[in-house]
Structure 1
Amino acid sequence: MRVDFIKMHGLGNDFVVLDARTRTLPAIDAPVARALADRRTGIGCDQLILLEPSKSADFRMRIFNQDGTEVGACGNASRAVALLHGAAVRVETAGGVIAVEPSGTGASVDMGEPRFDWEAIPLAYGMDTAVMPVGWETLDQPGAVNVGNPHVIFFVEDTDAVPLETVGAQIETDPLFPERVNVNVATILDRRHIRLHVWERGAGITRACGTGACATAVHAMRRGLAEREVTVTLPGGDLVIAWGEDNRIRMTGPAAEAYRGSFEWDDFA
C-alpha cells in the first residue's frame, strides 16, 4: 500500500503528517511510529502526526513521539496542521479539543486551560505545584503545569549552562512523574521575554516545543514574574504566548511545509 505524507515543522520541531481524514490507513502502533520517525532508516521526525475523522470536532489529531509513545498535545504540530488545513478549525486531541487558525506563515492556537493540581500533572504524590520542594543536581524548586501533557519548569540564570542532555533524561523518568514529564529550563530576560530550552519526553532535546512554551509562560505569570503576554525564545525561534482572563492560553507562531512524498506501508509495518 502506497501512503502519502507531508513533512512539516514549527521552528525546527519537525513532523511527518499522515492524512487519514478521507482515506483509511492501517492502524498505527508504536513500532510503526518509531520506524517512520527514525532519521537513519525512516523518513525522520520528532513526532508522527495522524489526522483522522472526529465525532466531537472537525477532525482528530493523534501525536506519536519519536519513541512511539502517543501523547495528548503538541503546540508546534497544531500550528502546522492549521497551516495545512488552511482555515480556522476545531481539532480533537487526546488532551482535549483545541481551536486553530492559520495566520500568514503560521497559526494561532487556542491551547485551552492550564491545569495545576498535582493529580492533573500527574505527580506520584501531593505537593504544591507552584514551588515544588524537589530538586535534581543544580535544578530545584520547579513548577508543574499540564497543558494537554505534563511539564516541569525550572527558572535559571543561564539556560546554556544547564546540561539538559543528561539531567533532562533523569528528570523525565523520575518516579515522581508516573506518566514521565517534559523538562523546561528557562531564563526570565524581562517581564515580556523568556528564553527556553526543552527536553521533550520521548524525543529528547528539541529546537522548539509549543506546549513547553505555554507551560513555561503560564508558570512565570502564575509566579508573578511575567506579564500576561510574553515572547518565548527557543533555539528554533520565537513564540508569543498569551494567558487570557478567560483562563485560556493562546499561542501564536510560524509553521512551514518542507516537502511531500510517499512510502510503502509494508516497509515500515
Structure 2
Amino acid sequence: MKMDFFKYHGTGNDFIILDNRKKRIPEEDRSLFARLCNRHFGIGADGIILIQNDFSRDFYMKYYNSDGTESTMCGNGGRCAIAFAKKLGISKENKIYFRAIDGDHSGMIQDNGLISLNLIDIEINMIKIYPKYVFLNTGSPHHVLFVENIKEIDVCKQGRKIRFHKSYSSKGGVNVNFVEISGNNTLQVRTYERGVENETLSCGTGITASVIAAYETGKISINKEKNVFISTLGGKLWVSFEKKHNQYKKIYLTGSVQFVFEGWIHI
C-alpha cells in the first residue's frame, strides 16, 4: 500500500501528518507508526498526526507518540495540524476549529505567518503546587521544575527518572519540564517527553504548563500585552492567558510552523 505523508515542525517539534479523512490508514497497527517515526529506518518524527472527519468541527486531530502509542493533546502538533488543514483547504478561513482527545480547540493563522492555538481551560484547584515542583494538565500531564543553569541540566537522565516514578505510574507517566526564568516575562524551557522518551526541541503543552506554573507560584507577572516569551532549543514561542473565577481561560500558544516536505512511502 502506498501512503502519502506530509512533514511539518513547530519550533523543531516535528510531525508526520496523514490525511485520514477516508479512513485508509491502518490505525490499529501501532508498530507502523513507530517505524515511520524512526529517524534511522523511517521518515523520522516526534509523533504522528491523523487528520480525520468530525461531525461538528473542521476536523478531528488524533495524535500518536513516536513509540506508536496513542497519546494526549500535543500543542505544537495542534499548530501544525492547523497549517495542514489550511493547506488541504478544509477551511477557507484563517480561523479553524477542531477537536482532539481533550476536547474542542480553535486556531488562528495570523498575518505574520505565526499560528496560535487555543488550549483547554485549567481549573486552579487542579494545579498541584509542591515544595520542589508543580504538577498540572494542559491537555497532557506535566511536571514542572524551576532550575538554574538550565544548559547544564542532563534532561534525559533527570527527566527519565521523574517520568517513570511510581507516583505517575497510574497516569501513564508524565512529561517533565525544566524551567529557568531569565526575566520578568521570559522563560527558558527544556522538556523530556513521554512516548518519545527523549528531550524534544520544543513541547507546546509543556511550555504552556511552565508559564502557568510560573505565574501561579508568583515567579512571573503579566505585561500589558499579556504575552509571556519562551525560549526553547527549537525556537521562540509565546503564551497568553486570562485568570478569572478560579480558572485559567483563553490560553493561547503562539509560534511559527514550517512545512518541511511531502512524499509517499510503501507500507
Q: TM-score, normalised by structure 1?
A: 0.87
Closer, same or farther: CA 211–23 of 1 in aligned 2, 3 Å: same
Spell out the pairing of 1:199-218 with structure 2 (5 A cutoff). Answer: 199-203=192-196, 204-218=198-212
1:243–1:250 contact (8 Å) kept in structure 2: yes
Aligned CA distance change for structure 1 residues 28 and 12 (closer, same or farther; 3 Å): farther
Cα deviation digits, residues 110-146 of structure 1 (max 9, x gap): 012125556xxxxxxxxx711x25xxxxxxx100110
Secondary structure, counterpart of 1:71 in structure 2: coil
Tell me the equivalent position of 2:102.
95
Deviation of residue 217 (structure 1)? 0.2
CA contact (8 A) 1:105 1:256 kept: no
Runs (5+) with no aligned partner, structure 1: 119-127, 134-140
Secondary structure of 1:240's aligned partner: strand
Residue type of the partner of 1:106?
L
SS of residue in 2 equivalent to 1:216: helix
Identity, % of aligned positions: 29
CA-to-aligned-CA distance 1:72-92 (integer Å, 9 cap, x gap): 211111111112222321111
Please give the secondary structure, in 2, of the residue aligned with 1:69: coil
Match of 1:163 among 154, 158, 174: 154
The answer to whether the aligner puts 1:38 opposite 2:52 as a matched pair is no
CA separation of 1:210 and 1:167: change in aligned 2, threshold 3 A:
same
In structure 2, which of residues 117, 121, 130 is the aligned counterpart of residue 113 of structure 1? 121
CA RMSD of aligned residues (A): 1.6
Partner of 1:223: 217
Equivalent position of 1:173 in the other structure: 164
Q: Structure 1 residues 72, 116: CA separation in 2 closer, same or farther (over 3 Å shift)?
A: farther
SS in 2 for 1:83: helix
Question: SS state of the match for residue 211, structure 1?
Answer: helix
SS for the counterpart of 1:62 is: strand
Aligned-partner residue type, residue 181 of structure 2 = I
Matching residue of 1:138: none
Shift of 1:100: 1.1
Following TM superposition, the consecutive aligned residue runs of length 4 or more in structure 1 with deviations greater than 3 angstroms are: 115-118
Within-5 A mapping of 1:1-269: 1-22=1-22, 24-86=24-86, 87-103=94-110, 104-115=112-123, 129-130=128-129, 132-133=130-131, 141-177=132-168, 178=170, 179-203=172-196, 204-228=198-222, 229-245=227-243, 247-248=248-249, 249-265=251-267
- Partner SS, residue 166 of structure 2: coil
Helix, strand or coil for the counterpart of 1:244?
Answer: strand
After TM superposition, give the deviation of residue 20 of structure 1 in Å. Answer: 1.1
Which blocks of at least 5 consecutive residues in structure 2 are unaligned?
A: 87-93
**Structure 1, residues 232-267: CA drift from partner, whole Å, max 9, x if none?**
1101111100112452211110001000001112xx
Corresponding letter in the other structure for 1:38: N
Separation in structure 1 between the aligned mates of residue 265 and residue 147 of structure 2, nearest angstrom = 44
1:122 corresponds in structure 2 to none
1:25 deviation in Å? 2.5
Aligned residues: 248
Per-residue Cα deviation, 1:8-34 (whole angstroms, up to 9, x for no partner): 001111100001124533224321111
